[in-house]
Structure 1
Amino acid sequence: MTELPNTTLPLWLRIMRFPVARIILLGGVVFLLMGFNNGFMLKFKDAPVLSIAITAAMASVTLAIYAGFARFIERRPVSELSFSGASREWLMGALIGAGLYTACVLVLIALGMYRIEGLNPWTFVIPAVAMALSSGIFEELIFRGVLFRSVEELFGSWISLGVSALVFGLVHLANPAGTLVGAIYISIEAGVLLAAAYMLTRRLWLSIGFHMAWNFTQSAIFSGIVSGSTPAPGLIRSNIKGPAVLTGGSFGLESSVIAFLFCTVTGVILLIMAVRRGKIVPRA
């Protein structure tokens, strides 16, 4: 598609291409679709395979809408979702996400605060698939694909990092057991890490892989509470006892200083790599 100068485009198209309008329009549509999908997951929580199928379909539609907006409204290549190298980046993100959460649990085990009491049938991991798919696709499209990229276009990478991380943390206050401490921790440990993953690659697959694997490992494998949401049993039957500052309490391990340290250090490493590779967009 041939790119036309912005001044020759119709007024309505110029408005829709403006970053703030993109956040409202595209971000709003993706957020609405995520809400619909969350409703379906709740409705069909006792039919996990159906829930996975619905989530996959809704995610596919949302990805198509995002790509269509980029292609026909912004009139640019959708490089952040290109398939070339996607599987490698997704797998790398998934390994980092699963590895970091497992490392946090191993620390709790070493401290005597996480005790394994047995195993549930493997089918207990199935319900978490839809949740991981939903958070990985919808949330990364909203917070990194739309919000981060749009704010960065106006104010540069560093301000966008702060804004997107703050908003990402604050929305978790809406979860059933959401806490201010948990929201602050997520803003720093996850908001920075996930934004840094996008900044480093300028694509979404690394952050999608991390987000999906962290949530899946947390819920499906270790039966952990995901960001203050309703707890559900996973593969490992466990008993967690200890101070909330280490275990995360009712919010889950994201509100633990252990996860905070592991994830924040990882995020800083990714940021340093992004800076060294010249991936930082200066303030306009």
Structure 2
Amino acid sequence: MKKFFYIYGKILIVSLSSLILFAILSSVKADSSLIIRTLFLIQKAMMLLPVLILYRLWDNGKWKLGIIQHNKKLYFTKGALLGFAFMTLSIVITIVLETHRITLHNWNVQMIVSLFYTLFLCLVVSFAEETLFRGYIQGLVKHHYTYTAGIIFSTLFFAAMHGMNNNFSVLAFIELILGGLFLGIVREKTQGLWFGIGFHCFWNFTQSGIFGFLQNKEESISVLSIIFKEKNVITGGEWGPEASIVTSLVLILLIAYLQIKKYGWFKKRSIAQ
């Protein structure tokens, strides 16, 4: 019981510290669009600060956070390509299944600048969230219990923390659970965070920067705008296609593939022995 409170006390301190910093910066008022966007980026980046400080003070050397990783550029690129491919696949299937209206926006300097901003924002968010949830929380629980416990707890915590977002729903919760499981398994499989960071970054960028499903309508201009006639389980409701049943099925297939591949690897290893 003492170990339980020790571990989850650490997690609460790290998480609450991140939220407090985020809330303090959210209270800052600004009139300039550039200042507002800069503050928003700083808010997301500052969530990372308590994780790095407290990991350094409490856990450095006991277990790996996952930021330092061999071939991180390759892992990031593979994750980014997979995130882009599967979010694109999910949205295209949804477009085929549901009545929609697509608008292609004109390319100009404002759009290009906005896309770079959205991409950088997605990178900052994915780096901060993967370091907090899959790096610190999953790593800490795994160190004291098992990797399965680490994946399950970090996944539940990941989904619960996103429950504060607008338009949160049962569909969104299911998608977040599946996404968290996939990212947790990938973190264990690759022994680092960079595949997950790439996947998380381009999963978000593809739906927001390319297809126009923006979580914050003021933050970006997208290449396309897609409006579905119905907001249901196929389109993901108010949360968007990220929470659609199509996306959930894609994530289930990804998780199944990883588990089958893992089983096959263990089977080959046992035969060889």
Same fold (TM over 0.5): yes
The residue that corresponds to 1:247 in the other structure is: 235
- Shift of the 148–79 alpha-carbon distance from structure 1 to 2, 3 Å rule, reads closer
Question: Segments of 4+ in structure 1 off by > 6 A?
Answer: none
Pairs within 5 Å for 1:61-210: 64-65=52-53, 68-69=56-57, 73-76=59-62, 78=64, 80-120=66-106, 121-187=111-177, 189-210=178-199
Q: What number of residue pairs does the alignment pair up?
A: 258
- Shift of the 53–165 alpha-carbon distance from structure 1 to 2, 3 Å rule, reads closer
Pairs within 5 Å for 1:269-284: 269-274=257-262
CA-based RMSD of the aligned residues comes to: 3.4
Which moved further from structure 2: 199-208 or 74-83? 74-83
- Shift of the 160–42 alpha-carbon distance from structure 1 to 2, 3 Å rule, reads farther
- Shift of the 60–86 alpha-carbon distance from structure 1 to 2, 3 Å rule, reads farther
3-state SS of 2:201 partner: helix
Measured in 2, the distance between the counterparts of 1:177 and 1:130 equals: 24
Pairs within 5 Å for 1:196-275: 196-226=185-215, 233-274=221-262
Measured in 1, the distance between the counterparts of 2:7 and 2:260 equals: 27
- Shift of the 91–65 alpha-carbon distance from structure 1 to 2, 3 Å rule, reads farther
- Shift of the 239–26 alpha-carbon distance from structure 1 to 2, 3 Å rule, reads closer
CA contact (8 A) 1:223 1:234 kept: yes
Give the Å deviation of 1:77: 6.6
CA contact (8 A) 1:27 1:147 kept: no
Give the Å deviation of 1:156: 1.4
Identity of counterpart residues, as a percentage?
22
Measured in 1, the distance between the counterparts of 2:223 and 2:59 equals: 45
3-state SS of 1:80 partner: coil
Q: Where do 5+ consecutive residues of structure 1 fail to align?
A: 1-14, 279-284
Residues 169-219 of structure 1: per-residue CA shift (max 9 Å, x gap): 2222211111133112311x2011111111111211111111111111111
3-state SS of 2:33 partner: coil
CA contact (8 A) 1:218 1:224 kept: yes
- Shift of the 275–42 alpha-carbon distance from structure 1 to 2, 3 Å rule, reads farther
Give the TM-score taking structure 1 as reference length.
Answer: 0.75
Give the TM-score taking structure 2 as reference length.
Answer: 0.78
Identify which of structures 1 and 2 has the higher relative contact order when contacts are C-alpha pairs closer than 8 Å and 6+ apart: 2
